[in-house]
Amino acid sequence: MTTTSNPDLDASTPPGPGLAPTPAPAPGGRLAGRRILVVGAGTRRSDDPDAPLGNGRAIAVLAAREGASVACADVDRDAARATAELVREDGGHAQVVVADVADADACSTMVATAADLLDGLDGIVLNVGIGAGQWLGKTEPDQWDAVFDVNVRAHFLTCRAALPVLADGSSIVFVSSVAGLRPGSRIPAYDASKAALAGLSRHVAYEGARRGIRANVVAPGLIDTPLGRLATAGRPNRTKAPVALGRQGTAWEVASPVVFLLSDDASYVTGQVLAVDGGLSTL
């Protein structure tokens, strides 16, 4: 399970003068008593001694700091365990679930396992995505299908399994990408699949509304993650993207709005897309 918001646009843009990245938020209590499944909670392995956290790991850690019990799901058992250990070191409660969301059956099993381990579910974060192919002419049909299996079908299957299990008033957050709002990844399957999440989220919000279940999308832009650094090494000119705030974001800056949408602070927010991109998509 790849944990990423965008394999092409998550570039490593150096902070501008006086624009230091936001540090990890202090512990709070906005999710006290909540049971949250974070799909894609591991962070990609990196040889970089100064490697930052990935979005999924930051989301799991911050949700736990806000009082939630967290099920850390990932295809990489070691990566999921590492995230769970970080949560426990902070004094939080975490469980590990291993699942490959490219396998349709694994999605429902993942939800059932997380609900059993946490004694129910109050929230789900879907932070998985892959990219394959390049431009239309270099994207094969099987690559297109593989991307949609992970980036869209898995989200549909997880939500289908989760809606009957989630408690009333729960929240689902899809982690999409600015690539779903504007072109730029050069990977048509990736751009299209991330755009599709907005439509899926709106339907989930519509169907869940009768029970107060909310669904929203967070669309990160240029975020400093291990995967982002790897992609930047392959194409350095991606750092030239015109970010209005003059710097890349951090995984904590993705995690904070996700936690907001999981919490009662966002109790009247549903069916929305929130770009977390320093103004890249609008300014």
Contact (Cβ atoms closer than 8 angstroms) between residue 111 and residue 37: yes
Give just the sign of the alpha carbon dihedral 144, 114, 163, 180: negative
Taken in order 242, 248, 252, 254, the sign of the CA dihedral is positive
> Looking at the annotation, which residues are catalytic?
190
Cα–Cα distance measured from residue 144 to residue 62, given in angstroms and rounded to the nearest whole number: 33
| Burial state string for 17-49 with b = 16 or more CB within 10 A and e = fewer than 16 | eeeeeeebbeeeebbeebbbbbbbbbbbeeeee
> What does the chain come to in residues?
283
Q: Where are the alpha helices (DSSP H) in 96-241?
A: 104-118, 141-148, 154-162, 188-208, 226-234
Contact between 172 and 126 (Cβ < 8 Å): yes
Element (H, E) at 95: strand 93-98
DSSP calls for 200-265: HHHHHHHHHGGGT-EEEEEEE-SB--HHHHHHHHH-GGGGG---TTSS-B-HHHHHHHHHHHHSGG
69 and 121 in contact (C-beta within 8 Å)? no
Three-state DSSP class for residue 97: strand
Q: What are phi and psi of 265, to 5 degrees?
A: -60, -25
